[in-house]
Amino acid sequence: MQRSGSPPGDGPPPGVTVRPATLADVDALVAMLVEVAGEGRWIGTEAPVDVDRRRRRMEAEVEGEDAIVLVAEAGGEPVGQLGLHLARYGVADLGMAVAAGWRGRGVGTALLREAISQARKAGAHKLALQVWPHNAAAVALYERFGFRREGYLHRHYRRRSGELWDAIVMGLPLD
Ligand SMILES: CC(C)(COP(=O)(O)OP(=O)(O)OC[C@H]1O[C@@H](n2cnc3c(N)ncnc32)[C@H](O)[C@@H]1OP(=O)(O)O)[C@@H](O)C(=O)NCCC(=O)NCCS
């Protein structure tokens, strides 16, 4: 067990590998996003997800130059995913999700470690993200990697319920 606040160590948990996604992964990754969106609490995407649109968008990300999509897999099945959008001005915007049954086992850590390495290789000087304030697991994971809270968006995102949710803006300089 690592001490809270210590930098994350070693490689992925046993049996888990992290690699760039291919077009063959897209259906499974979109299905995972649909599941996580269905939980209703963690990610910006809300149910019902427009699956065709999502699939087209992810295919473009997997094939294009402006994004990096990573997949964590175990036993040949995807158990986590992470997307980086590479802005021309050098910031890589991050989104990620781990399948519910795989959380708390180091998959997110393994994905984030690889994402930081890939973002550096792509020439980004900074990672950026937004997270719901109630998402304690995600905030703790990001802070463990050295992300700092850079801002707070009050009543910023309108949810389909009509609620207005706050968001924390976080950043990790890479230079
Ligand atoms: C946030 C998320 C990606 C973390 O992935 P994960 O595989 O569960 O994370 P890890 O097992 O690698 O945990 C890494 C660290 O995160 C923190 N963490 C993980 N789960 C936690 C929890 N339930 N409560 C508090 N901290 C937690 C801890 O600091 C942990 O380190 P430790 O185990 O050494 O204490 C995952 O919970 C998830 O997919 N949630 C739903 C989607 C989501 O929230 N995406 C991010 C949107 S901004």
What integer pLDDT is reported at residue 3 of this predicted model?
38
Is the distance from the beta carbon of residue 126 to the nearest atom of ligand 1 less than 6 Å? no
Contacts of 21 (CB under 8 A, 6+ apart): 29, 58, 62, 69, 70, 71, 81
Q: Is the CB of 128 under 6 A from ligand 1?
A: no
Q: What is the number of residues in the chain?
A: 175
The predicted pLDDT at position 1 comes to 41
Cβ of 103 below 6 Å from ligand 1:
yes
Nearest CA to ligand 1 atom 1: 138
The residue among 74, 90, 65 whose CA lies nearest residue 28 is 74
State the pLDDT at residue 9: 67
CA of 132 to the centre of ligand 1 (A): 13
**pLDDT 10s digits, 118-138:** 999 999 999 999 999 999 999
105-139 CB burial, b ≥16 within 10 A, e <16: bbbbbbbbbbbbebbeebebebbbbbbbeebeebb
- Spans of the chain below 50 pLDDT: 1-6
Given this model, what pLDDT does residue 107 score? 98
Q: Which pLDDT score is estimated for 27?
A: 98
